[in-house]
Amino acid sequence: MLKLRKLGKTDLMISPIGLGCWQFAQGKGLFGNTWGIVGDEEVREIVRISLDGGTNWFDTAEGYGGGQSERALARALKSLAVRPEDVVIATKWLPLFRRAASLRKTIDDRLAALGGYPISLHQVHTPHSLSTTRAQMEAMADLVEAKKIHHVGVSNFSAAKMRLAHDELGRRGIPLASNQVRYSLLDRSIERNGILEAARELGISIISYSPLAQGILTGRYHENPSLIKTKPGFRKYLSSFRAKGLEKSRPVVEALREVAAKHGRTPAQVALNWLVHFQGQTVVAIPGATKAPQAQENAASQAFALTKDEMDYLDRVSAGAK
């Protein structure tokens, strides 16, 4: 059986790999078509395969299609007869151009979108707001005490802002569970800017988004660089997907292929496995999936073990690719 781990200092027990659900926005909202449109049947299959593979939590957000991702996820869970107590749902409040009072005003909309599935983790999606971190954490604490949500997290917070959020929640006797940030073998900035160090010190989990560097670590774009031109959204315009960027990341992908061959796995699975084990229990990850086979690949990445030598080898190659 897959070994679960605690999210921060909460009582939430989660699988090392969750499922990121931005792609369930189904074309709605400002960035809803970033990953193309995933229909309800495909959403259901992605969720089913994730659950069957041992994944027990899903990360969505108000900002993913104005609640469309939340609704699509809830429909899939209901159609699979998943009981609310058997799944962990993390969502996020979008603070842009809003004040902390919006947290209290919009929470019933979040709960309605999730169709009866409780909010295990409610996160502030970005530090950019018209209100202070203190005001936001006060509002979050009110929601916990009102039993509207279970736990509190943040996303994209710097080390200093994360510490502040932790301290403000602590005044109300509530732990800050997590900080959701970009982290992968190709983006290890949290190891240098104090975020990882502070998370360890305070007992806060790091939730890694873009754990496969938007697909680069799968190796498919190194094999076929023109493939990116067929993808929807903004990725095709990023320097990391151009020839120079792909050459820079090639040593990491080759190292992943080398290790993957020893385990009968894929480069993506090795990259995810490294991510959720190299820093001990501190880091969990939320890769997305637009197709059922991707969900199966993601979930299976938590079902094998890399050796310490293999993890150290990937660490060295990754450090040299900066």
Task: State whether the Cα torsion 310-12-81-109 is positive or negative.
Answer: negative
Given strand 283-285, what is the order of strands in its sheet? 19-20, 57-59, 88-93, 119-124, 149-155, 176-182, 205-209, 283-285
In whole angstroms, give the CA distance from residue 10 to residue 85. 16
- Phi, psi values for residue 98, rounded to 5°: -130, 165
| Catalytic entry in 64, 117, 183, 209 | 64
Is 64 one of the catalytic residues? yes
User: What does the chain come to in residues?
Assistant: 322
So which residues are the catalytic ones? 64
